[in-house]
Amino acid sequence: MSLLSEFREFAVKGNVVDLAVGVIIGGAFGKIVTSLVDQVVMPPIGWLIGGIDFADLKITLPVNPTNPQGAPAVIEYGAFINVLIQFVIVAFVIFMMVKLINKLRRQQAAEPDAAPAAPTATEQLLIEIRDELKARP
Strand 59-60 to 74-75 pairing: antiparallel
Q: How confident is the model at residue 14 (pLDDT cuts 50, 70, 90)?
A: low
Mean pLDDT of the 21-29 span: 87
Q: What is the spatial distance between Cα 66 and Cα 74, in angstroms, rounded to a whole number?
A: 17
What one-character DSSP code corresponds to residue 71?
A: P
Number of residues that make up the chain: 137
Distance CA 83, CA 81 (A): 5
Q: 92-137, pLDDT tens digit by residue? A: 888 888 899 889 889 888 877 666 778 899 999 999 999 999 998 7
Q: Which residues sit opposite 75 in a β-bridge?
A: 59
pLDDT score of 98 = 86
Confidence of residue 89 (pLDDT cuts 50, 70, 90): confident
Question: What confidence score (pLDDT) does residue 59 get?
Answer: 92
Reading phi first (left if > 0) and then psi (alpha if -120 to 50, else beta), residue 51 is in: left
Whether this model's pTM surpasses 0.75: no
Percent of the chain with pLDDT over 70: 96
40-44, 67-71, 124-128, range with greatest mean pLDDT: 124-128
Whole-angstrom distance, CA of residue 45 vs CA of residue 51: 8
pLDDT for position 114: 65
Is 67's pLDDT higher than 80? no
Question: Hey, how many other C-beta atoms are within 10 angstroms of the C-beta on 38?
Answer: 16
The pLDDT assigned to 103 comes to: 92
Longest dimension (CA), the chain: 110
